[in-house]
Amino acid sequence: MEVCDERVCGLFKRRSPKNVAHLRRPFGAMKSLRAVDHGFRSPGCASARCTRGSARAPRRGESRARSGRHDRRNSSAASDVASATILDYTSAVRWARATVRGRGAHYAVPMHAHRVDVQAALDGWVEAALEGESISREDALAILRDESIPLLPLVHAAGRVREHFFGRDVLIHQLHNVQSGACPEDCGYCGQSQSSTAPIQAYRLRRREEIIAEAQRAKENGAYRYCMVLSGRGPSDEEINHMAACIREVKDRFGLRTCLSAGLLDEAKARRLADAGLDRLNHNLNTSESHYGEICTTHTFADRVNTLSAARAAGLDLCSGLIVGMGEGFEDLVEVASRLRGFEVPSIPVNFLVPIPGNRVRESVVAGRPITPRLALRVLCMFRFVNPKAEIRIGAGREGHLRSMQALALHPANSLFVDGYLLTRGSNTRDTIAMIVDAGFEVRLDGDWPEDLARFVAGLKAGGSAAFDIDHSGEVIRDDRRRVRNARVSGEDTPAALSVNGVAME
């Protein structure tokens, strides 16, 4: 068996007992794996003996042989791989496993055995994404379900794509529920549905002054976009007129970009909103077509698609995403990602189900398992690779499902909401801005920062005691603790920053 002399090649490492110890299996078993390893070459190997040499990475759909990466030394193994693309990670792993089984081994190929491939596959995905291409359905599924794809390299790879299209900017969105509750639809995840017994605050369409006051607050919070949401199946003519007037005023007075979510719309109504200056219409697909009947029976997936088509025909930008964790499978998540790609949706909110007592769907479960922060990251990475040019927004459930990994999620995603969601609290603006700045990203703003936020950000960037001078002093923390203690004693509300999953603790 020939091996590569180059240190950069994975084969080189296989020669040393020290380097194979971490494979956690009897060393003798390595012999059967060498041929497998040989089929997958390390990127960047420049050994004269290594035929892969300086050949470029194959493009998607192109074989190694065409790209000059064919491994001529490795007889049968190489000929199998030559007919596959390096981007098809799933086939490569399947092939490797089959080969090992064929050789009588009784273990699956661990991550280390195809470590070299994983990096090559990640590089291939990045290369495709930078050209605006999507990865294959199989690879998208592998990102979600194959835990041997290491998380940090995956996040880093998705971050390379995000940086290429969006730099280090993070867009902040602020939601305002301008009409809440009393909705005749039966969406099982929504506390505003009449079928839900969730104890929400229901109110009719807000007055113009209230909507404008919220827009002003969004502006003061450094929001890039002001998103207004109406409960209900769809807006009446009067509601359209009211919202059109509000949109005009928000644009004129604050220059904020606007987004409206108003249920099902036809093209005529969408056009009236577009004429008023609305930038974007939000209408989430929410889940896959095949799973849609499980979450709602009063309208169909096709109704949702028709609304997107109407908005597009009216010249509105589209914003459409999903809610992860409504009992769907990985295939459903990939299907939604690819449907959104088909629509070339430029803005994709990825929400994670916030379980609200009283709703029909209240177990946040994907493929029969609860959402973990690691899975939430994988979902965001998958969306980045399927929709490389889209604004991927971390939506509801950021605090509860990503938890301590929220900052990592800024690598695949490039926007988020602050100050809560439709019915649940989220982290406040300053904590979110601090997370963004601490992770080395920039909050993107159209226009100037409000003065106090500018001081806050400057303090964070200065680091050291300057950051504590703003409002992270020990005194403030002690104050907060007192407030929590007092609130618990008196039964009052707790501070938003102490909420989990968007729902206040205790």
State the Cα–Cα distance between residues 196 and 200, nearest whole angstrom. Answer: 10
**64 is known as an active-site residue:** no
State the Cα–Cα distance between residues 365 and 444, nearest whole angstrom. Answer: 33
User: What are the residue ranges of helices labelled H in 343-496?
Assistant: 373-386, 429-438, 451-462, 464-470, 474-490
Active-site hit among 9, 45, 319, 381: 319
Active-site hit among 393, 398, 425, 430: 393
Active-site hit among 4, 259, 296, 381: 259
Site string for ligand SF4, 135-154 (x = CB under 6 A): --------------------
Q: Which is nearer to ligand SF4, 162 or 283 (CB)?
A: 283
CB of residue 287 vs ligand SF4: minimum separation in angstroms?
12
Active-site hit among 9, 45, 187, 246: 187
Rule CB under 6 A: choose which of 158, 183, 408, 460 binds ligand SF4.
183
Q: Which is nearer to ligand SF4, 187 or 437 (CB)?
A: 187
187 binds ligand SF4 (CB under 6 A): yes
91 binds ligand SF4 (CB under 6 A): no
State the Cα–Cα distance between residues 397 and 350, nearest whole angstrom. Answer: 9
**393 is known as an active-site residue:** yes
**9 is known as an active-site residue:** no
Rule CB under 6 A: choose which of 123, 185, 391, 399 binds ligand SF4.
185
DSSP for 241-303 reads HHHHHHHHHHHHHH--EEEEE-SS--HHHHHHHHHTT--EEE---BS-HHHHHHH-SSS-HHH
Q: Which is nearer to ligand SF4, 287 or 387 (CB)?
A: 287
Q: In angstroms, how far is CA 10 from the centroid of its own chain?
A: 32
Q: Which is nearer to ligand SF4, 51 or 307 (CB)?
A: 307
Q: Which is nearer to ligand SF4, 92 or 190 (CB)?
A: 190
| Those residues with Cβ within 8 angstroms of residue 485's Cβ, 6 or more apart along the chain or in another chain | none
In the window 259-288, what residues touch ligand SF4 (CB under 6 A)? Answer: 263
Backbone torsions φ then ψ of 277, nearest 5 degrees: 110, 5
Q: Which is nearer to ligand SF4, 113 or 187 (CB)?
A: 187
> Nearest Cα to 25, choosing from 95, 108, 92?
108
Packed helices 429-438 and 451-462: angle between N→C axes, nearest 10 degrees: 40
Q: Which is nearer to ligand SF4, 3 or 228 (CB)?
A: 228
Rule CB under 6 A: choose which of 92, 190, 319, 392 binds ligand SF4.
190
Site string for ligand SF4, 228-247 (x = CB under 6 A): ---xxx--------------
**187 is known as an active-site residue:** yes
10 binds ligand SF4 (CB under 6 A): no
388, HSE (Cβ side, Cα atoms, 13 Å):
21
192 binds ligand SF4 (CB under 6 A): yes
Active-site hit among 4, 183, 246, 381: 183
**381 is known as an active-site residue:** no
Sign, CA dihedral 275-265-182-320, equals negative
State the Cα–Cα distance between residues 175 and 178, nearest whole angstrom. Answer: 9
Rule CB under 6 A: choose which of 85, 119, 134, 193 binds ligand SF4.
193
Contact window for ligand SF4 (CB under 6 A) among 18-26, 186-194, 300-308, 316-324:
186-194
CB of residue 228 vs ligand SF4: minimum separation in angstroms?
13
Active-site hit among 190, 246, 296, 381: 190
Sign, CA dihedral 107-148-399-305, equals negative
Type of residue found at 405:
M
Pairing of strands 369-370, 365-366: antiparallel
Tokens (6 digits) for 148: 């041997």
Q: What share of the chain is helix, strand, coil (3-state, %, to 5)?
A: 50, 10, 40
**Residue where the block lists tokens 């199946």:** 233
CB of residue 57 vs ligand SF4: minimum separation in angstroms?
43
Q: Which is nearer to ligand SF4, 58 or 181 (CB)?
A: 181
Contact window for ligand SF4 (CB under 6 A) among 16-24, 183-191, 395-403, 494-502:
183-191
Q: In angstroms, how far is CA 472 from the centroid of its own chain?
A: 29
State the Cα–Cα distance between residues 241 and 149, nearest whole angstrom. Answer: 51
The count of residues interacting with ligand SF4 (CB under 6 A) is: 10
308 binds ligand SF4 (CB under 6 A): no
Task: Give the SS3 label for residue 447.
Answer: coil
Contact window for ligand SF4 (CB under 6 A) among 109-117, 226-234, 275-283, 330-338:
226-234
Q: Which residues bind ligand SF4 (CB under 6 A)?
A: 183, 185, 187, 190, 192-193, 231-233, 263
- Tell me the catalytic residues: 183, 187, 190, 227, 259, 319, 393
